[in-house]
Amino acid sequence: MEQKIGVIGYGSMGKMIFSKFAQSKAIDTSNLFAANRTFEKTIDLNRIYPEINICGNNCALAKEVDVLFICVKPLEMKAALMETIKNIRNNCHIISLNGSILCKQLEQICINKRISKVIPSATAEANQSVTLVCHNNFVEDEDKKF
């Protein structure tokens, strides 16, 4: 069974993730979930990719997914996680695309959760990028391969 992947935040990084998943066909778009502070932006996403699941809020998304990408601005990260943490599945792999937030800071909210940080460069849009990746001690080899 394919993993369900959720993205909180549909700004520049969130848009890139959705377009790359859809273009690569690595993930069936029906297994992608989106939530954004401004709901109207996700409606635009649904016009481009009608199969994507649009969630009304972060908590609804967190209940559904196996992998959770958090693509929000640094000042919004804590609030997004605090709002969502009680709904994040126990076995969910949380991936932050925010270079300003440390793994240690994420672990203070996401206690005993699998956490990775993935920081792509701007050239990721051109399908060639140096991407920094780090994981906490809970991340397993299968998660790293993903």
Whole-number Å distance between alpha carbons of 62 and 86: 9
> Average pLDDT by consecutive 10-residue portion of the chain (146 residues)?
91 87 87 91 87 94 97 93 95 92 92 92 65 91 89
Among 10, 61, 50, 58, smallest CA distance to 28 is for 50
Domain count of the chain? Answer: 1
| 78, β-bridge pairs | none
Instruction: Tell me which residue range forms the domain holding 28.
Output: 5-145
Domain with residue 78: its CATH number is 3.40.50.720
- Report how far residue 123's alpha carbon sits from residue 16's, in angstroms, rounded to the nearest whole number: 11
Report the DSSP beta bridge partners of residue 24: none
